[in-house]
Structure 1
Amino acid sequence: MACRISELVIDCRDPERLAAFWCEVLGYEVLGREEGFIEIGPGDEGHRPVLVLSSSDDPKSGKLPLHIDVSPTDRDQDAELERLLALGAKPADVGQTGEETWHVLADPEGNEFCLLRRRVT
């Protein structure tokens, strides 16, 4: 038997703010709250991983060794980019050449993620 990723934990200053942002980005909902933690996910216990937003006084931000990639599900990449920017994402510069097929963005606390071109269902 192998392991399965069940949770991705993001240390942050404001778990409520990031939970709201990522719920809108991913179509997730709040699954639970404990002091300093908010767990969000698709609502179906069979679908993992969930995100856990963990309160931290000194979270890391910017270029991390691990980041999230998202893909549009019901619109093209340009329309999804507009939606993410309207939600509070910001363009991030990690040395792109301009030839990439993805966009590098940062969430409201500066955590980088990529918007891929490929549409998924």
Structure 2
Amino acid sequence: MAYDFQVTVDCADPHTLADWWAETLGWEVEPSDESFIKEMIAKGMATEADTTTHRGVLVWRIGAAIRHPEALPSGRPRRVLFQVVPEPKTVKTRIHLDVWVGSERAEEEHERLLARGATLLHRGRQGPLSWITMADPEGNEFCLS
């Protein structure tokens, strides 16, 4: 049996990083359900300290998610969750995203992402395959190929 899954990224500022990745991938940030958040606070299941405002919208403080515009055949979204962790990133990430843009667009995308706050880490090649290893604005590694 095959399983659906989401990728979760630890970070300091999940809403800003979700915005960055949604624009990078052409995905969408999952909308916040402000009425649900307010209901959870009213019922005592959350406090206002569990929330923040991002771009004028009430959101959960600890996380934000992005999703692909099209669902999987199961109906579940292709999803990346960004969640707050207290410690900063200090070592190489043991798992990363490979963003496939095509060899004819890799340099153009590399330049576009540098202008948006990504950093170049190194370039790699194995036989006919090449990639550009970069880091997002919080230092999370990803490869562009």
Length-normalised TM-score, structure 2: 0.66
SS of structure 2 residue aligned to 1:88 = coil
Residue in 2 aligned with 1:90?
119
Q: Distance in 2 between matches of 1:88 and 1:60?
A: 17
Q: CA deviation at 1:67?
A: 0.7
- Which protein is richer in helix relative to its size? 2
Instruction: Report the residue type matching 2:119 in the other structure.
Output: K
The equivalent position to 1:63 in structure 2, one of 77, 92, 97, is 92
Q: Does 1:45 align with 2:71?
A: yes
SS of structure 1 residue aligned to 2:69 = coil
SS of structure 1 residue aligned to 2:30 = strand
Q: Distance in 2 between matches of 1:62 and 1:113?
A: 14
- Percent identity of the aligned residues? 37
Q: Distance in 2 between matches of 1:62 and 1:114?
A: 17
Aligned CA-pair RMSD = 2.2
Length-normalised TM-score, structure 1: 0.78
Give the number of equivalent residue pairs.
111
Residue in 1 aligned with 2:13?
14
Q: Distance in 2 between matches of 1:3 and 1:103?
A: 30
Gaps of 5+ in 1: 117-121
Q: CA deviation at 1:8?
A: 0.5
Q: Which moved more, 1:25-34 or 1:105-114?
A: 25-34
Show the 5 A alignment for 1:70-89: 70-72=99-101, 76-89=105-118
SS of structure 2 residue aligned to 1:57 = coil
Instruction: Report the residue type matching 1:51 in the other structure.
Output: V
Gaps of 5+ in 2: 33-59
Q: Which has the larger radius of gyration?
A: 2
Q: Distance in 2 between matches of 1:61 and 1:112?
A: 12
Q: CA deviation at 1:10?
A: 0.5
Residue in 2 aligned with 1:104?
133
